[in-house]
């Protein structure tokens, strides 16, 4: 392989990686929509939750290590088991 081919291959791999990252970010953002202001647990990951603002925008937040957010408490707590 010559130097031009190696450079082109690296650019192609970088472009594919960036496209995949953009796609995953877009899909993750499209999965959750705020219905009202408040805190909401991520149904797929109990250590992650969404903080919805009055304008229905959200921030993704995480509980501390070894803590989860039970749906009935709506706050991060250590498991009781």
Domain identity same for 61 and 26: no
pLDDT tens digits, 70-79: 877 878 888 7
Domain identity same for 38 and 69: yes
pLDDT value for 70: 80
Domain identity same for 43 and 10: no
Domain identity same for 20 and 43: no
pLDDT interval class at 26 (50, 70, 90) = very low
Higher pLDDT, 79 or 14: 79
Range of the structural domain that residue 44 is part of: 34-81
Domain identity same for 74 and 47: yes
Domain identity same for 17 and 48: no
Distances (CA, A) of 49 to 12, 18, 36, 74: 35, 26, 14, 9
Token code pair at residue 42: 């991520």
Domain identity same for 23 and 39: no
pLDDT tens digits, 27-42: 445 578 999 999 998 8
Domain identity same for 50 and 68: yes
50 membership: H or E segment, kind and range: strand 45-52
Please tell me the pTM assigned to this model: 0.54
Number of separate domains in the chain: 2
């Amino acid at each position: 392989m010559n130097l031009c081919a190696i450079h082109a291959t690296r650019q192609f791999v970088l472009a594919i990686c960036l496209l995949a990252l953009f796609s995953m970010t877009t899909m993750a953002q499209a999965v959750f929509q705020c219905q009202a202001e408040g805190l909401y647990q991520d149904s797929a990951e109990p250590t992650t939750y969404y903080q919805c603002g009055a304008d229905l925008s959200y921030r993704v937040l995480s509980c501390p290590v070894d803590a989860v957010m039970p749906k009935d408490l709506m706050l991060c707590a250590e498991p009781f088991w």
